[in-house]
Structure 1
Amino acid sequence: MGTLEVPEVERDYTRYSNRQLAAVPLAVLAVALLVLSGSFLAYGAPVPLGMDFAGGAQLTVETTSSEAQIQDAFSVEPDSIQSVVGENQYTVQFAGVEDDDVIQDLSNQAESNLEPAGDGSVVQSESTASASFAAQTQQTALLGIAVAFVGMSVIAFLLFRTFVPAVAIVLSAFSDLIIPLAFMSIAGIPLSLGTVAALLMLIGYSVDSDILLNNHILRRQGDFYESTHRAMRTGITMTVTSMMAMLVMGIAASLFGVDLLASIGIVLFVGLAADLMNTYMLNVSLLRWYKFHGVRS
């Protein structure tokens, strides 16, 4: 596999001070935090919660109607409509809907407003998830993210045993989580077990690219810019290749109506783009300050 061309590192980086390099990723992080804070104040959650975390009802319908017609068939707007590939079946989710009368009313609306695919009824099955069970699932998922983040932070400090390089890794990973979460809030992508898995993968991607950069600069021979250039040749190739794979997956899943995979693909794409910015602007600025101006033990 060929490598992507990277810029003339010394010439391009020396044009900007450390503050200028760090300003852009920190500004994006600040905007992302404002978005999540605003969403929390307005809706009670920084990111829309899917049925996995909010509870609700799910109908499995068999119909020849389009997804747009399914969307308009109910008095309550569905949170998710996912098609079963190769069949005229769809799973329609309504987050937060638990009342039996409301669920029965939604089932009646499906029967009245959608065209059946055969001689049978439109609604094939109904299922519900209680709010208490969804809350437990939410706590478990958030605990998993917290444990993964703390574990990553501990490994960073154990590997480099100095404050600034370790903080650079932790700060970049934190931003790599916050930016895609803010994008999910803006785009209306619900937080589900699938998107939580994508966020966990982003922690791994972030640590990988940041440790690669730190290791080249701090532990290998060569001056700062030569080491940065070596790390960028490998890191940018890996990250951009992963971004393209996630983009293709997201587009393909969207075309086939697999909303969960589409959400995972776009969240990973946005998170990896953020990782490029954080690694080669924020992390590099911190490491350059540490290398040339910082007090090292």
Structure 2
Amino acid sequence: MYGTADVSGSDWEGLFRPVSHRSVMFEFEVPEVDYTQYSNRQLVAVPLVVLGLALAVLGGWYLVTGAPVSPSIDFTGGSELTVESSLSQAELRDNTFDEPVVSVQQVEGENRYIITFDSSNLEPIEETARSSDQMEFLGSGTTSPIFGQENQRLAVVGIGVAFLGMSLLVFAMFRSVVPSIAVVLSAFSDLVIPLAVMNLLGIKLSLGTVAALLMLIGYSVDSDILLNNHVLRRSGGFYESTYRAMRTGVTMTLTSMAAMAVMAISATIFGIELMASIGFVLVVGLAADLMNTYMLNVTLLRWYKYEGVKR
């Protein structure tokens, strides 16, 4: 119908094929989606339903806890203790300290741990560590509630400024309301969905995950602008232009997802909790970006090009 992708017969057969008989590298072909088989309502329904569910999770979380996302000690204040011990992570978490333990992270070898507490009072925590025969005290640190609130304010301001700058840039590029709204709505959904999944899986919002969310804003804008630019500014029909953008955008996104998945799995294996959380947030956000770009954004662009501009 349009494009040049060779996906027929058994559909996915041949998507990965050797570049040459001497090479171990593989060429990835993006399957050509026949958008004409789906109405605008069918295409836009899935991303809007997922966005609605994500907003419901965040709203419910806010009603129950007072915050849409569970914050880490970066925003609430707390303490960290570094020890060397022969005890397991479970034993350190459950049976060693009187203060509630938030997390136990293994670092720099088999017997070194960073233990996180909600409390900012280090004295009893350090005393327990120093007096124990099963662990060696190595260091400690605290984040005050006031400093945590300042971090929270800066994080909110940072995300807000990034969104505002992204919106102004997109509108300046396309000078049209519908394509600009499509990009902004996709980026918003790319943020909300990972936040909801973080709540469901118990991943707390930290400075590291905020950085991952800021990365998602940039990535979402990049993939959406790529699509808009192909459809609105380059020659060719709507579906041909969409497929050209998909060949670049989908390959780029899947490659990034694979890299972030490897990082998250490796960090989980080695007990690097922060890197695992960042990798997981990016994988979920990039998966959401695929859905929002090539279902939500494509739908709005198709309506704009075939119906909206005629009115």
TM-score by length of 2: 0.87
Alignment of 1:78-117 (within 5 A): 78-86=101-109, 88-95=111-118, 97-98=119-120, 100=121, 103-110=122-129, 115-116=134-135
Q: Is the 8 A contact 1:63 1:114 kept in 2?
A: no
2:187 & 2:310 partners in 1: Cα distance? Answer: 23
- Residue 26 of structure 1 aligns with which residue? 48
Mapped contact 1:70–1:114 kept (Cα < 8 A): no
Q: Residue 48 of structure 1: SS of its match in structure 2?
A: coil
Partner of 2:83: 61
What is the CA distance between 1:65 and its match in structure 2?
1.4
Match of residue 59 from structure 2: 37
Q: CA deviation at 1:156?
A: 0.5
Asked if 2 retains the 8 angstrom alpha-carbon contact of 1:206 and 1:275, the reply is: yes
Aligned residue pairs, count: 286
What is the 5 A alignment of 1:242-253?
A: 242-253=256-267
Find the counterpart in structure 2 of residue 119 from structure 1: none
Question: What is the SS of the residue equivalent to 2:37?
Answer: coil
Letter in 2 for 1:26: L
Structure 1: distance between partners of 2:251 and 2:265: 21
Q: Which amino acid aligns with 1:60?
A: T
Match in the other structure for 2:226: 212
Q: 1:3 to 1:18 in 2, by over 3 A?
A: farther
Q: CA deviation at 1:7?
A: 2.9
Alignment equivalent of 1:7, drawn from 20, 27, 31: 31
Q: Provide the residue aligned with 2:19 in structure 1.
A: none
Give the superposed CA RMSD: 1.8
Equivalents in 1 of 2:133, 2:27: separation in Å? 52
Q: Which residue of the partner structure matches residue 8 of structure 2?
A: none
Q: SS at 1:222's partner residue?
A: coil
Q: Which stretches in structure 1 are left out of the alignment for 5+ residues?
A: 117-121
Contact 1:4/1:233 (8 A) holds in 2: no
TM-score (norm 1): 0.91
Q: Distance in 2 between matches of 1:252 and 1:268?
A: 15
Q: Corresponding residue for 1:190?
A: 204
TM-aligned CA distance change 1:23 to 1:75, over 3 Å: farther
Q: Secondary structure at the match of 1:85?
A: coil
Residue segments in structure 2 that go unaligned for 5+ positions in a row: 1-24
- CA 1:114–1:238 in structure 2 vs 1: closer, same or farther (change >3 Å)? farther
Percent of pairs with identical residues: 60
Alpha carbons of 1:84 and 1:114: their partners in 2 closer, same or farther (altered >3 Å)? farther
Partners of 2:264 and 2:186 lie apart in 1 by 24
- The 1:227–1:168 alpha-carbon spacing in structure 2 relative to 1, beyond 3 Å, is same
1:21-53 deviation line (CA, Å, top 9, x unaligned): 011001000100010111111111111111111
Residue aligning to 1:157: 171
Partner of 2:10: none
